[in-house]
Structure 1
Amino acid sequence: MAGSGVRLRLSNALGRTPLTIDHATLATQLSDAVPTAKPADLTFNGGSKSVTIPIGGEIYTDPSAYAATPGKRLMISLHLVNDSPYLVQHSWASAATQYVSAVGSGDHTADTTGTAFTGTGVFSGYFTNILTGIDVTTSDSRPTVAVLGDQLVDPFVDATTPGLTTPRLSDDLATALQTNEQGVPDYGVVATGIENNRLTTEQTRGGPATLTRLDRDILTLPGVTTVIVDEGLEDIVAGTEDTNVEEAYATLVAQLRGWGFKVVLTTLTPCQGYAPCTTAIDANRIDTNTWITDQDDFTTPKVTHADTESAVAIPVDPNSTTEPLPLKLDAGTAPENYDTGDHVNLTANGYLAATGALDLTTLGPDN
């Protein structure tokens, strides 16, 4: 989204020690850890360059003038002063890459080269620490769509699986809104992805369940009018009964509507061929999808669904007479190559196809 200013959301919500930041900067990325120009200082609490985020706390930077342009990547740099044995991490953050300098190498937030992020003791990857959001200031009161979940399944089982770092539904939705020819406004899009993608179960790696983190994942986000729920398959393939998942969905939808949010539920994509996806598990997935497609309610705030299953699925056996027809991810020739090879996670083209199942004209606030 284009805008004239930004502010950053920094979090220590699941931290174990306070975090002290004594310098934070903002720039446009040239490449890797190199900015296009000298980074600009960011401040906190009305002008201070330093801040301490307590255990369990979150903080925004002061608003900063910055010409945000769609398609241009921001570079956020933070210098931590105190020792912290553990930083809360969002792994497999497809739209972000983090570069970490060697411990004790000093403050590099104002560097104009990437030298400090090469050599011994440095590392990088598709993850983020501390930074959990970027708000863009627009000239109008533009609505925002939040995508709750990231549709990843067991991302830590095989870290080499293709597709785990590809653009996902939230990324593709932002692009679709920018380029649509239907006259749909370029709404803001916020990814509130959860790496283990569970609705109900607390995860050691993955954090609190969705139903226990809506306060910071949805309620504290400015301007949100619509929530796309893009999760549930992880629960199913982990063995959660469809009735329990449906109950969790019902609770989630009731809470979101009670707070005034429009809700879009996505159907669960196929998992046939993925080892944990037994016949019984897939039956639970099918039953859950039947429940999802029955939830459309056009009283305000509305509940609708997007059939992402149909967007990426083909029959396991086209000649089968079984009802319902068993489905699997299409592993055909690009652009219809939706299966990463593990038969459950989507490729970049798979996420594009799933995004195509969304009706952009229904994403704005109810009239």
Structure 2
Amino acid sequence: MTTTWIAAHRSAVINPHEAFHLFEPRGFSGQTVRQSVRLAGGGEALRVRLSNRYGKEPLRIGGAHLAVRTRAGGIDPASDTPLRFSGAETADVPVGEEIISDPVELPVSAGEELTVSLHLPDDTGLSTYSAVPYDIGYAVPGDQLSAEDLDGAEELPLGHYLTGVDVLAPEGTRIAVAFGDSWIEGAATTPGTDNSFPSQLGRRLTRGWIVNQGISGNRLLTDEIGDHLLSRIDHDVLTVPGVSHVLIHIGLNDLGLPGTIAHPDPAEGPTAAEFTAGLTALADRLHAAGLTVIGSTIGPYHGTVYDGYDTKTGQAVRREVNAWLLGDSHPFDAVVDIAAAVADPDQPDRIRTEFNSGDGLHVNDAGAKAIADAVDVTLLDL
């Protein structure tokens, strides 16, 4: 099996010592939750991955169905298929664990949109979530797994429990994992359009595809929103079926917001030497697993709320790290100059106006396309 869709999950609580939440946490009880996925690649069968990795209570799955999406939360009833887990239509996911459904024989192709509906009969507690879903999810009371439409549904801006879809692809199919922060995840691109830069880059590939393991707010060196990148390698890269390449963007949060989200007071961030040592450790661990590793320069962020949080050294460190990445001593197989692709040529610490999502920190759909277009697809060579 090869992964065709994935979403990196994180705890509903950012800092357990302060119980601070970046997004309003929530749970479910006696409800059906329906979420959509857009497949990056196709195959002759598929299976679904569910997670209770950060849950505080056992997760009871009263039923799970797979169907072809029609519109919003609607499905094609003729395609509605129960998922089974070790032959059963119900499952219990212990705290900290994940489960994989039995394979379903269903030919699917790249770009196809499916829905996964979960009946959650018991109180779930605060859920593990993904912050930037590929589309809006829906929740309704009771068991409505096979409902063609979900009337009066509550819209869910975050993803819950669903962490991956694998397909039975042709032998030798290889994929790239896009790994990093909000620029990977696609924050500020238009929801439901699949316009993150890894997705737009993936549509340029003629073989293989890219799956997204970005976490908005993620850091290279320290935990804050999600485990830091160095600690995510085993779970979020090495266990992904079919991975052969890794495409990385990280650093904005280490350098721009070195304090905590709960207490964003000015704080000292890592030095350039500390950050490059972290990138070297990252590349070395991925290379040791036999993967091709593509780094990238750190995107511009001047003119954002981050300006008031660090000690004004973050931009200087970013420039020093980027110069190292563009030189000859970095440890990557190749480096993509993401910063140059979207920077204002007159003020290179800022995002160009036409690529600015409006917050000065993230790129819009056009900016994501500019990044995707800046990548030499032969670097992936999937």
Q: TM-score per shorter chain, which class?
A: 0.7 to 0.9
Q: 1:72 aligns to what?
A: 112
Aligned alpha-carbon RMSD (Å):
2.3
Segment of structure 1 superposing worse, 139-148 or 271-280: 271-280
Q: 1:199 aligns to what?
A: 220
d(CA) in 2 for partners of 1:359, 1:226: 14
Normalised to the residue count of structure 1, the TM-score between the two structures is 0.82
Q: 1:315 aligns to what?
A: 345
- Unaligned stretches of 5+ residues in structure 2: 1-40, 259-268
1:128 paired to 2:145? no
d(CA) in 1 for partners of 2:77, 2:207: 28
% identical equivalent positions? 27
Q: 1:147 aligns to what?
A: 178
Decide whether the 8 Å contact of 1:150 with 1:231 is kept in 2.
Answer: yes
d(CA) in 2 for partners of 1:360, 1:68: 24
Match for residue 230 of structure 1 among 249, 261, 281: 249
d(CA) in 2 for partners of 1:174, 1:96: 18
Q: 1:180 aligns to what?
A: none
1:352 paired to 2:369? yes
1:108 paired to 2:108? no
Residues 10/269 of structure 1: CA separation in 2 closer, same or farther (3 Å cut): same
Decide whether the 8 Å contact of 2:280 with 2:330 is kept in 1.
Answer: no
Q: 1:12 aligns to what?
A: 52
Per-residue deviation, 1:163: 3.4
1:163 paired to 2:189? yes
Normalised to the residue count of structure 2, the TM-score between the two structures is 0.79
Per-residue deviation, 1:13: 1.2
Residues 358/284 of structure 1: CA separation in 2 closer, same or farther (3 Å cut): same
Q: 2:325 aligns to what?
A: 292
Residues 146/162 of structure 1: CA separation in 2 closer, same or farther (3 Å cut): closer
Decide whether the 8 Å contact of 1:267 with 1:307 is kept in 2.
Answer: yes
Considering Cα pairs closer than 8 Å and 6+ residues apart, tell me whether 1 or 2 has the greater RCO: 2
Match for residue 280 of structure 2 among 250, 255, 269: 250
Per-residue deviation, 1:17: 1.1
Q: 1:188 aligns to what?
A: 209
d(CA) in 1 for partners of 2:379, 2:325: 17
Residues 164/250 of structure 1: CA separation in 2 closer, same or farther (3 Å cut): farther
Match for residue 291 of structure 2 among 250, 255, 261: 261
Residues 164/292 of structure 1: CA separation in 2 closer, same or farther (3 Å cut): farther
d(CA) in 1 for partners of 2:231, 2:314: 25
Decide whether the 8 Å contact of 2:55 with 2:125 is kept in 1.
Answer: no
Residues 42/139 of structure 1: CA separation in 2 closer, same or farther (3 Å cut): same
d(CA) in 1 for partners of 2:234, 2:52: 15
Q: 2:352 aligns to what?
A: 330
Decide whether the 8 Å contact of 1:144 with 1:190 is kept in 2.
Answer: yes
d(CA) in 1 for partners of 2:216, 2:344: 26
Decide whether the 8 Å contact of 1:148 with 1:193 is kept in 2.
Answer: yes
Q: 1:98 aligns to what?
A: 137
d(CA) in 1 for partners of 2:183, 2:350: 16
Residues 76/309 of structure 1: CA separation in 2 closer, same or farther (3 Å cut): same
1:265-284 alignment to 2 at 5 Å? 265-277=295-307, 279-284=312-317
Decide whether the 8 Å contact of 1:92 with 1:164 is kept in 2.
Answer: no
SS in 2 for 1:112: coil
Per-residue deviation, 1:186: 2.2
d(CA) in 2 for partners of 1:162, 1:87: 23
Per-residue deviation, 1:44: 0.9
Decide whether the 8 Å contact of 1:22 with 1:79 is kept in 2.
Answer: yes
SS in 1 for 2:368: helix
After superposition, the C-alpha distances for 1:40-98 in whole angstroms (9 at most, x for unaligned) are: 111112x11111111111111111112212222111111113212211111122x2321
Decide whether the 8 Å contact of 1:152 with 1:164 is kept in 2.
Answer: no
Match for residue 81 of structure 2 among 28, 40, 56: 40
Decide whether the 8 Å contact of 1:296 with 1:303 is kept in 2.
Answer: no
SS in 2 for 1:271: coil
After superposition, the C-alpha distances for 1:146-205 in whole angstroms (9 at most, x for unaligned) are: 00024349x9xxxxx95374621221122122xxxxxxx4213211111212112212xx
Q: 2:17 aligns to what?
A: none
Residues 33/267 of structure 1: CA separation in 2 closer, same or farther (3 Å cut): same
- Unaligned stretches of 5+ residues in structure 1: 156-160, 178-184, 318-325, 332-336
Q: 1:50 aligns to what?
A: 90
Decide whether the 8 Å contact of 2:67 with 2:116 is kept in 1.
Answer: yes
